[in-house]
Structure 1
Amino acid sequence: MPAETEPTLTKGGGTAAPAATRSAEARAALAGVEHEPGAKKPDPIVVAHGIRRQFGGLTAVDVEHLEIQKGVITALIGPNGAGKTTFFNLLTGFDRPNEGTWSFKGQALDKVPAYKVARMGMVRTFQLTKVLSRLTVIENMRVGATDQRGEGLLSAMFAWLWRGQEQDNTVKADELLERFLLHKKREDFAGSLSGGQRKLLEMARALMADPELVMLDEPMAGVNPALKQSLLGHVKSLREEGRTVLFVEHDMDMVRDISDWVVVMAQGKVVAEGPPHTVMSDQRVIDAYLGSHHDQDLSEDVEEQILAEAQAEIDAEHPEETK
């Protein structure tokens, strides 16, 4: 879908600003947001409160409050095991929290299954791509369209009910394949694509649902460097169309390049928020990635102090073993 360049009509008969203008206004609005975990946003599309997910005795996610601003690109970063993907799964209905509430465009998502979340306009991709290997590229694209009349058991038997819609979906799919430089692979099996091409296909297929929020889980993981710039450009174009993007990524160069706002998780909690240049210099972020003693000279005295602190934490967690 090309970016909007003309004003669009509103329900009241007036005109709305182009998507690119609305996106610029959304980014500008972030200038007044506090650079603290759980900061309130002027126009949040997602609001999560008190989200906790435990696996046995391990707390994987413990997010007190988080808001995602509409119309901007937000990066979710943190060390391995910080709970980023688990948090993605909770927001999109692929997993259930032990407690907490969250909403999309003001509508509560508690107990809403993943397929309904996607139909509402909140679509995600996966770190390990979920392309349908034995279907062709164009067939994978058609699968991504929503509200298809031919999916019903009875209506599937009457081609005249759904043939026109399928043709429209195919036209839309071909336009997206052209945009994502996959049109030459149209009739190839998806399983024959490279890792980077599968990432492009999954992102293109997500747009078949015309989502308002696109959630990308490590879009650069395993991608050929030659395709990285193409992926970066596509993510930026989503914002210029007026969509909201939330992505998980370890590539800090990508985070600095395309994100308007950065949320940092460590040990399941949100430890920092703010613009990229602010977050990257935040001591809490440096500690989360490198450890709180990363900048100390590990002399014998300092090493003994660190070991003593670690032993004290172990003794506090298992007092029965110290008796």
Structure 2
Amino acid sequence: MPADPIPHGATAAGAGTTGGAPQRLAQAALRDLPWEVGVAKPDAAVVVDGITRTFGGLTAVSVDHLEIQRGGITGLIGPNGAGKTTLFNLLTGFDQPDTGTWSFNGRSLGKLAPHQVARLGVVRTFQLTKALSRLTVLQNMLLGAQGQRGESFLRALVPGTWRAQEKANTEKAMELLRRFKLDAKKDDFAGTLSGGQRKLLEMARALMSDPQVVMLDEPMAGVNPALTQSLLGHVKDLREEGMTVIFVEHDMDVVRDISDWVVVMAAGKVIAEGPPESISQNRAVVDAYLGAHHDAPLTVEDEDRVLAEVEAQIAREESRDEPGSSDSSEGTGR
């Protein structure tokens, strides 16, 4: 639980007064919730219960209960090593937990492979992009389309069974590339794109499957400022289209700009939840980032001890600089 929970009914000033209708709906749904770990959401798309994942003796994730509001943008933040990416891996089938259950729209995602999770409508991107560098940008996009008839060996021998679908997928891919301003690169190998363009390509490819939940792992990492603004706009557009977005980010300016709700992790646990404005006010969050006693006043005994240590250090340095000292003699070659 947070060290300083906000009473039930506390709200963020001005919530829901700006932005498009989906943003206002998401903020309105979250407005009157208490700022408490594990708080129930009015319309949860993803629910996590008792998930743990250990590697040897290290507990990477230990989440008792977490709900993600449908149609909103949820920021997942925390120090390096907090377990954010591991949690992403567990929810999307890239790893399996030691204990616990998790569900999407009431359906359990346990034991499902990543492609099965994606077919249900939960897709993700990666901190290190997974574009296939020796395929063109357009070919990368077409890989994201689901239910392609031509993937069947027998149907592949009969072009009439899949040609119309492939044409429709190509048109959809080009529409997305135009939206992400990558249409001019459609015939370029993905390996020639910049880091920021690869992030755009990965997000665009994820949309080829018409997902309901999009999970973005540090989408702004390594992206130049010009493309950062473009990516921010695209993330907001996902919400405007009714998708649920969960993203990992370290830049708090980005988190405050686009998040409807923020979840904070530290040492594998969720230590705080609330709207973006609440996070900087939470003592548990400040301690997780800066240390539990970073601003605690020193006692008189502590002050005397520190002063004595400093004076002793100064005395040692002065003695080394005095003529005739052993250090001084060594320095002159005697």
Q: TM-score range by the shorter chain?
A: 0.7 to 0.9
Give percent identity, aligned residues only. Answer: 67
1:194 corresponds to which residue? 194
Cα gap change, 1:161 to 1:81, in 2 (>3 Å): same
2:252 corresponds to which residue? 252
Equivalent positions of 1:230-241 (< 5 A) are 230-241=230-241
After superposition, give the CA deviation of every residue in 1:149-171 in whole Å (9 maximum; x if it has no partner).
01111111111111100000000
Would you say the 8 A contact 1:214–1:246 is kept in 2?
A: yes
| TM-score in terms of structure 2 length | 0.83
Q: Bigger shift: 290-299 or 235-244?
A: 290-299
After superposition, give the CA deviation of every residue in 1:195-231 in whole Å (9 maximum; x if it has no partner).
0000000000000000000000000111111100000
| TM-score in terms of structure 1 length | 0.86
Partners of 1:298 and 1:199 in 2: CA distance: 47
2:143 corresponds to which residue? 143
Instruction: Give how far 1:298 is off.
Output: 6.2
**Number of paired residues?**
286
- AA partner of residue 229 (structure 1): Q
Cα gap change, 1:302 to 1:144, in 2 (>3 Å): farther
- AA partner of residue 301 (structure 1): D
Cα gap change, 1:287 to 1:121, in 2 (>3 Å): same
Matched, 1:281 2:281: yes
Instruction: Give how far 1:240 is off.
Output: 0.5
Would you say the 8 A contact 2:26–2:260 is kept in 1?
A: no
Instruction: Give how far 1:302 is off.
Output: 7.4
1:26 corresponds to which residue? 26
Instruction: Give how far 1:25 is off.
Output: 2.1
Partners of 1:60 and 1:304 in 2: CA distance: 38
Q: Bigger shift: 286-295 or 70-79?
A: 286-295
Equivalent positions of 1:108-119 (< 5 A) are 108-119=108-119
- AA partner of residue 147 (structure 1): G
Structure of larger gyration radius = 2
1:59 corresponds to which residue? 59
1:301 corresponds to which residue? 302
2:320 corresponds to which residue? none
- Structure 1: runs of 5+ lacking an equivalent: 1-19, 306-323
For the aligned residue pairs, the C-alpha RMSD in angstroms reads 1.6
After superposition, give the CA deviation of every residue in 1:79-134 in whole Å (9 maximum; x if it has no partner).
00000000000000000000000000110011111101001100000000000100
Partners of 2:191 and 2:119 in 1: CA distance: 26
After superposition, give the CA deviation of every residue in 1:16-63 in whole Å (9 maximum; x if it has no partner).
xxxx64553232010121101111000000000000000011100000
- AA partner of residue 268 (structure 2): G
Cα gap change, 1:97 to 1:303, in 2 (>3 Å): farther
1:209 corresponds to which residue? 209
